[in-house]
A and B are shown apart, each in its own frame.
Chain A
Amino acid sequence: MLLTDRERLRADIEAWVGEFGADRSALLPVLQETHRKYGKVSDHAMQVVADLLGIHPVEVYGVVSFYSFIEHEVKGRFIIRLCRTLSCEMQGKDRVARQLKNDLGIDFGETTPDGRFSLEWASCLGMCDQSPALLVNEQIYTQVTPDEVHDILEDCRRMFTQAAPVKKEEH
């Protein structure tokens, strides 16, 4: 990581600590913001957070590793979380899961080599009356059919072409 990147990360975390307060109860919001912006909470980020909140970095690591929505490892730009709890299972989540795996070429718990997508299971998403349901980052999709999976992924892929119009989509 370039020094400037580290400085930028530190400045961001300082701003969040300023917003949420420099005590331990600010830890989760600060980690959530860090995760939202950087896609993960790196070792270095944990060290900075620990310094600013006056706690041991291992305490920060303990918290990061506890919550499934705060990632330590870098994940895809889009994290797809398919609900696997009973109501979604009864409405065919396995068929949706198969299409996600086929389309992305990865299994659950993995990230595509281009760093664009991660595939995860989720516990009940609270959409049991409109199952099966999945989250793409913070966006919820309900009553997902296997043939809609590709459309959802294409919507995500379009974001990359919009963000980088000079680069041509390779597939």
Chain B
Amino acid sequence: MVSKQLTFSTIKPNTGLAAALKKSRPDIIAELAKSGLKGRGGAGFPVNVKWNLAAAAHDPEKYVVCNADEGEPGTFKDRVILSEFADLVFEGMTIAGYAIGARKGILYLRGEYAYLRAPLLAAREKRRAEKLLGDAVQGKKELSFDIEIRMGSGAYVCGEETALIESLEGQRGEPRNRPPFPVDTGFMGHPTVVNNVETLAWVACIMAKGPEWFKAIGTEKSSGLKLFSVSGDCEKPGVYEFPMGITVAALLKEVGGEGAKAVQVGGASGQCVPASEFNRAIAFEDVSTGGSIIVIGQHRKMLDVARNFMEFFVEESCGQCTPCREGNVKLLDGVEMLREGCCSMPYLKELCALGETMQAASKCGLGQSSPNAFLSIVKHFKGEIMG
């Protein structure tokens, strides 16, 4: 369900790739810097910085990985992109391969999207036949690039880039310590850029339309357009495209979700924004998101929301580090106590302190962000949850 026309549908196939191949490698990265494109998976790391580090690394073997392990609760825009604009993603990967000097790309598709595998393979075959993949792409001798499609097997944590690489290497999907970052020690120890599906599609658009176009949209620190996955208590759920910096209130108006009690921005690892803060901007410098928007109506109980997210993290924690493995269980117990009305105020404070410890001490992004929803619900809805 795409609720209005996306920019992706206005880009003619392969114009981005053709434009990129006319430029030098440093020029491509310089254009991305000018566009201000930041990672669309949620972390918001500048794409040009990542690519530059990988490009500068001395290694004949480098990799481009497309992170299609879209598992954040409430996020489904990558599914739509892969279903309808797979070529743009392959184009973005090819541009990345050219820019950093990689010959191989790997698209890591989550196991839950296995039904997308056959159409993606068909799209890849078509590109191979059209010489858009393989040896001497578009007759350019110095660019040989091909793409492999690999499947995940039902592990949310593999969306974390180092866990994803572990999984590709045939290991349990347990995140690594960073640094070293994948740009120097990635897949099989080689420099690797890992980018989200949407990021790579935007790269192709920026090459086609120019960095100035992208930079002119959005805010100073968060430029460009962004896809949002909207679900929950609203009239028109679906995938939307908005400029970065849109306020929560303006977004709700577009999707028919006015009058909401709260909005969970950024999925289970994001934060819960109460109605009193709907004037806040959705951007990396304010409320950051990979695109998940779950509208929570007036009739919902916030403890039900908190319980659902804590159950999610208890299930999906890889169990490697203690703060995340044990902390999430404790927070879920705490939510149950709150539901039963037997949580004392001092214990709630202890739980919040535990949450802050988890943010500071967990090894990867999953653990560091897992208490966010709980903490923001406690902060904004204390009256309700202490019922």
Contacts and interface: CB of A to CB of B under 8 A. Distances in A.
B152 to A, nearest CB: 8
Interface residues of B, number: 55
B375 interface: no
A122 B112 contact: yes
B154 A63 contact: no
B16 to A, nearest CB: 26
B188 interface: yes
**Nearest 6 CB-CB pairings of A with B:** A27-B170, A128-B231, A67-B153, A69-B154, A129-B237, A68-B154
Interface in B287-328: 294, 296, 300, 304-305, 308-309, 311-312, 315-316, 318
Interface of A: 23-29, 31-32, 53, 62-63, 66-70, 84-87, 89-90, 122-131, 135, 138-140
B112 A128 contact: no
Contact of B308 (A89, A122, A135): A89
A85 B150 CA distance: 25
Interface string B100-122: 00000000001111110000000
A11 B238 CA distance: 46
Interface of B: 1, 70-76, 78-79, 110-115, 150-156, 167-174, 188, 229-233, 237-239, 264, 267-268, 294, 296, 300, 304-305, 308-309, 311-312, 315-316, 318
Nearest to B170: A27
Given A24-B170, A25-B170, A129-B238, 16 more contacts: A29-B151, A32-B151, A53-B170, A67-B111, A69-B152, A69-B154, A86-B74, A86-B268, A87-B294, A123-B156, A125-B112, A128-B76, A128-B229, A128-B231, A139-B115, A140-B115
Nearest to A67: B153
B237 A63 contact: no
A62 B232 CA distance: 37
B76 A129 contact: yes
